Protein backbone atom coordinates (compact mmCIF):
# COMPACT_ATOMS: atom_id res chain seq x y z
CA UNK A 1 0.00 0.00 0.00
CA UNK A 2 1.11 3.57 -0.59
CA UNK A 3 2.50 5.78 2.15
CA UNK A 4 -0.15 8.09 3.50
CA UNK A 5 -0.12 10.65 6.25
CA UNK A 6 -2.84 10.72 8.88
CA UNK A 7 -5.00 13.81 8.58
CA UNK A 8 -7.86 15.04 10.74
CA UNK A 9 -10.74 12.57 10.50
CA UNK A 10 -14.13 13.70 9.28
CA UNK A 11 -17.17 13.21 11.52
CA UNK A 12 -18.20 10.20 9.44
CA UNK A 13 -14.69 8.69 9.80
CA UNK A 14 -14.72 9.31 13.56
CA UNK A 15 -18.06 7.57 13.93
CA UNK A 16 -16.91 4.65 11.77
CA UNK A 17 -13.68 4.29 13.80
CA UNK A 18 -15.68 4.18 17.06
CA UNK A 19 -18.12 1.60 15.69
CA UNK A 20 -15.30 -0.67 14.46
CA UNK A 21 -12.88 -0.16 17.35
CA UNK A 22 -12.95 -3.90 18.14
CA UNK A 23 -10.88 -4.50 14.97
CA UNK A 24 -7.78 -3.25 16.83
CA UNK A 25 -8.19 -5.75 19.66
CA UNK A 26 -9.01 -8.61 17.29
CA UNK A 27 -5.88 -7.80 15.25
CA UNK A 28 -3.64 -7.70 18.33
CA UNK A 29 -5.17 -10.91 19.69
CA UNK A 30 -4.97 -12.76 16.34
CA UNK A 31 -1.27 -11.99 15.87
CA UNK A 32 -0.29 -12.40 19.52
CA UNK A 33 0.64 -8.80 20.29
CA UNK A 34 0.27 -7.52 23.83
CA UNK A 35 -2.54 -4.96 24.07
CA UNK A 36 -0.61 -3.02 26.73
CA UNK A 37 2.51 -2.77 24.59
CA UNK A 38 1.16 -2.47 21.05
CA UNK A 39 -2.28 -0.82 21.29
CA UNK A 40 -0.89 2.73 20.93
CA UNK A 41 1.16 1.64 17.93
CA UNK A 42 -1.63 -0.30 16.19
CA UNK A 43 -4.20 2.45 16.70
CA UNK A 44 -2.23 4.79 14.43
CA UNK A 45 -2.38 2.24 11.60
CA UNK A 46 -6.05 1.67 12.37
CA UNK A 47 -6.93 5.37 12.12
CA UNK A 48 -4.99 5.68 8.89
CA UNK A 49 -6.92 2.68 7.53
CA UNK A 50 -10.21 4.35 8.49
CA UNK A 51 -9.15 7.45 6.59
CA UNK A 52 -7.97 5.50 3.52
CA UNK A 53 -11.08 3.32 3.51
CA UNK A 54 -13.35 6.35 3.37
CA UNK A 55 -11.30 8.43 0.97
CA UNK A 56 -10.33 5.80 -1.60
CA UNK A 57 -13.37 4.31 -3.27
CA UNK A 58 -11.20 2.05 -5.46
CA UNK A 59 -9.81 0.30 -2.36
CA UNK A 60 -13.19 0.15 -0.69
CA UNK A 61 -14.60 -1.71 -3.71
CA UNK A 62 -11.76 -4.21 -3.79
CA UNK A 63 -10.92 -4.83 -0.10
CA UNK A 64 -12.80 -5.12 3.16
CA UNK A 65 -12.12 -2.64 5.92
CA UNK A 66 -10.66 -5.41 8.07
CA UNK A 67 -8.16 -6.32 5.34
CA UNK A 68 -7.05 -2.71 4.90
CA UNK A 69 -6.85 -2.04 8.64
CA UNK A 70 -4.83 -5.23 9.28
CA UNK A 71 -2.30 -4.18 6.63
CA UNK A 72 -1.87 -0.69 8.08
CA UNK A 73 -1.67 -1.92 11.68
CA UNK A 74 0.87 -4.58 10.63
CA UNK A 75 2.95 -1.87 8.94
CA UNK A 76 2.86 0.39 12.00
CA UNK A 77 3.98 -2.43 14.29
CA UNK A 78 6.76 -3.45 11.87
CA UNK A 79 8.02 0.15 11.76
CA UNK A 80 7.87 0.35 15.56
CA UNK A 81 9.82 -2.90 15.99
CA UNK A 82 12.39 -1.77 13.43
CA UNK A 83 12.84 1.49 15.32
CA UNK A 84 13.25 -0.39 18.62
CA UNK A 85 15.90 -2.64 17.05
CA UNK A 86 17.74 0.38 15.70
CA UNK A 87 17.80 1.97 19.16
CA UNK A 88 19.45 -1.16 20.55
CA UNK A 89 22.32 -0.65 18.14
CA UNK A 90 23.23 2.80 19.36
CA UNK A 91 26.52 2.64 21.22
CA UNK A 92 26.34 3.22 24.93
CA UNK A 93 27.69 6.58 25.98
CA UNK A 94 29.48 7.33 29.21
CA UNK A 95 29.00 10.88 30.35
CA UNK A 96 31.57 12.36 32.67
CA UNK A 97 31.30 15.82 34.09
CA UNK A 98 34.56 17.68 33.81
CA UNK A 99 33.30 20.06 36.48
CA UNK A 100 32.63 17.33 39.06
CA UNK A 101 34.95 17.13 42.01
CA UNK A 102 36.65 13.80 42.61
CA UNK A 103 38.50 13.08 45.84
CA UNK A 104 41.28 11.43 43.90
CA UNK A 105 41.99 10.23 40.39
CA UNK A 106 41.34 6.60 41.36
CA UNK A 107 37.66 7.45 41.94
CA UNK A 108 37.53 9.05 38.50
CA UNK A 109 39.01 5.89 36.94
CA UNK A 110 36.47 3.76 38.78
CA UNK A 111 33.66 5.94 37.40
CA UNK A 112 34.81 5.37 33.83
CA UNK A 113 35.51 1.67 34.02
CA UNK A 114 37.99 0.98 36.78
CA UNK A 115 41.14 1.08 34.63
CA UNK A 116 44.16 3.23 35.14
CA UNK A 117 45.22 5.60 32.41
CA UNK A 118 48.26 3.43 31.69
CA UNK A 119 46.20 0.26 31.22
CA UNK A 120 43.74 2.16 29.02
CA UNK A 121 46.61 3.34 26.80
CA UNK A 122 48.09 -0.18 26.63
CA UNK A 123 44.70 -1.63 25.67
CA UNK A 124 44.31 1.02 22.97
CA UNK A 125 47.76 0.19 21.58
CA UNK A 126 47.00 -3.56 21.59
CA UNK A 127 43.67 -2.99 19.87
CA UNK A 128 45.29 -0.74 17.25
CA UNK A 129 47.95 -3.39 16.56
CA UNK A 130 45.28 -6.08 16.28
CA UNK A 131 43.20 -3.97 13.91
CA UNK A 132 46.24 -3.47 11.67
CA UNK A 133 46.31 -7.23 11.11
CA UNK A 134 42.68 -7.21 9.91
CA UNK A 135 41.79 -6.82 6.24
CA UNK A 136 39.37 -4.07 5.23
CA UNK A 137 36.45 -6.51 5.03
CA UNK A 138 37.30 -7.88 8.49
CA UNK A 139 37.35 -4.35 9.89
CA UNK A 140 33.95 -3.66 8.32
CA UNK A 141 32.55 -6.89 9.77
CA UNK A 142 33.89 -6.08 13.25
CA UNK A 143 32.50 -2.54 13.13
CA UNK A 144 29.00 -3.79 12.29
CA UNK A 145 29.25 -6.62 14.83
CA UNK A 146 30.11 -4.11 17.56
CA UNK A 147 27.12 -2.00 16.53
CA UNK A 148 24.85 -4.99 17.15
CA UNK A 149 23.98 -6.09 13.63
CA UNK A 150 23.10 -9.75 13.02
CA UNK A 151 25.28 -11.94 10.81
CA UNK A 152 22.76 -11.83 7.97
CA UNK A 153 22.39 -8.05 8.19
CA UNK A 154 26.18 -7.73 8.00
CA UNK A 155 26.81 -9.88 4.95
CA UNK A 156 23.81 -8.43 3.12
CA UNK A 157 24.82 -4.83 3.86
CA UNK A 158 28.44 -5.51 2.86
CA UNK A 159 27.33 -7.27 -0.31
CA UNK A 160 29.24 -10.47 0.39
CA UNK A 161 28.03 -14.05 0.38
CA UNK A 162 27.28 -15.90 3.59
CA UNK A 163 30.15 -18.34 2.92
CA UNK A 164 32.62 -15.47 2.57
CA UNK A 165 31.26 -13.85 5.71
CA UNK A 166 31.65 -17.00 7.82
CA UNK A 167 35.18 -17.63 6.48
CA UNK A 168 36.13 -14.07 7.44
CA UNK A 169 34.58 -14.57 10.90
CA UNK A 170 36.74 -17.69 11.37
CA UNK A 171 39.83 -15.67 10.44
CA UNK A 172 38.82 -12.90 12.86
CA UNK A 173 38.31 -15.41 15.68
CA UNK A 174 41.69 -17.01 14.93
CA UNK A 175 43.41 -13.59 15.04
CA UNK A 176 41.68 -12.72 18.30
CA UNK A 177 42.56 -16.07 19.87
CA UNK A 178 46.18 -15.77 18.72
CA UNK A 179 46.47 -12.30 20.26
CA UNK A 180 44.80 -13.33 23.52
CA UNK A 181 47.25 -16.21 23.97
CA UNK A 182 50.23 -13.90 23.44
**CA distance linking residue 57 with residue 68, whole number of Å:** 12
Q: What percent of the chain has pLDDT over 70?
A: 77
Residue 55 lies in a domain: yes
Bigger pLDDT: 63 vs 3? 63
pLDDT band at 117 (very low <50, low <70, confident <90, very high): low
pLDDT of amino acid 39: 93
* 136 and 80 housed in the same domain: no
95 alpha-carbon distance from chain centroid: 23
In this prediction, residue 108 has a pLDDT band, given cuts at 50, 70 and 90, of very low
The answer to whether residues 41 and 77 touch, using CB atoms and an 8 Å cutoff, is yes
Q: Which domain covers residue 164, as residue numbers?
A: 115-181
* CATH number of the CATH domain containing 120: 1.10.10.10
pTM over 0.85: no
Whether residues 80 and 140 fall in one domain = no
Query: 78 and 26, same structural domain?
Result: yes
Amino acid sequence: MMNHKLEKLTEQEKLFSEENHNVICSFLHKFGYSIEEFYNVAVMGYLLAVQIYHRREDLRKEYSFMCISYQYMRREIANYLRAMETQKRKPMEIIISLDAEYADMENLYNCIGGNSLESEIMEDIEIAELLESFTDIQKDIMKLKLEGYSNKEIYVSLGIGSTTFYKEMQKIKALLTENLVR
